[in-house]
Amino acid sequence: MGLPFHFRYDFLDRVLITPEQIEQRVAELGDQITRDYQDSEKLMLLGLLRGSVMFITDLMRHIRRPLTMDFMAVSSYSGTESTGFVRIDHDHKASIAGWDVILVDDIVDSGYTLWMVRKLLLDRNPRSLKICALLDKPERHKYPIPIDYCGFTIPDEFVVGYGLDIDEKGRNLPYIASVDLKKYRKE
């Protein structure tokens, strides 16, 4: 597929998911969440900064029930398979105890980030905790992570757009595109 507009990012390879496909799928996820949480008293969307920003703001428009939104920013380091930690750069503001929390992220790669954050959040006693990811690369999974709401499954390629970046570039693209890493490294 051709690139509708490239925003002068010369390292893009091709569009994997168009704005129309994203819009439709995000609306479906919103409908599904609306149905699944109709009996919930306290629903909180908890987004991981910064990759999930475009996704979470679109998604919440399609959830037709009261909710609150909060954010966390984390950096994760995976040393060996069995050890590792996640550093909290910014923590959520309100307590999640007793809340039905949906943790929202841009993409699941090894699954390490969400695996660690999920563990950490479960210790904070939410009423329930589910995971919503816009993208998933199943071929790359190393950690067992339950993805309750998944936008799209993609092949093992590095992608940018719709919030996702490469060295902070490409977040404003309205589609998901793969990166030509050879071109990128020459720039």
**Using an 8 Å Cβ cutoff, are 172 and 55 in contact?**
no
Cα separations (Å) of 123 from 44, 50, 118? 16, 23, 9
Query: Binding segment for ligand 5GP among 3-11, 58-66, 88-96, 111-119 (CB under 6 A)?
Result: 111-119
CB 95 within 8 A of CB 121: no
State which of residues 51, 126, 151, 170 lies at the interface with Mg ion (CB under 5 A). Answer: 51
Instruction: Identify whether the C-beta of residue 160 lies closer than 8 Å to the C-beta of residue 175.
Output: no
Single residue of 60, 70, 76, 150 touching ligand 5GP by CB under 6 A = 76
x/- letters, 130..159, toward ligand 5GP (CB under 6 A): ----------------------------xx
Torsion of CA 170, 134, 105, 150, to 10 degrees: -160
The answer to whether 111 contacts ligand 5GP (rule: CB under 6 A) is yes
The reply to whether 109 belongs to the active site is yes
What count of Cα atoms within 13 Å lies in the side-chain half-sphere of residue 92? 22
d(CA 70, CA 27): 20
| Nearer residue to ligand 5GP within complex by CB, 43 or 107 | 107
Q: Does 165 bind Mg ion (CB under 5 A)?
A: yes
- Which CB sits closer to Mg ion, 27 or 73? 73
Query: For Mg ion, how many residues bind (rule: CB under 5 A)?
Result: 2
Among 30, 47, 51, 126, binds ligand 5GP (CB under 6 A): 51
Q: How far is CA 31 from the centre of its chain?
A: 18
List, edge to edge, every strand of the sheet that includes 12-17: 12-17, 176-179, 159-160
Catalytic residue among 109, 136, 156, 167: 109
Q: Binder to ligand 5GP among 58, 59, 99, 113 (CB under 6 A)?
A: 113
Binding of residue 106 to ligand 5GP (CB under 6 A):
yes
Residue 163 interacts with ligand 5GP (CB under 6 A)?
no
Write the single-letter amino acid at 115.
Answer: W
Residues that bind Mg ion (CB under 5 A): 51, 165
* Residue numbers annotated as active site: 109
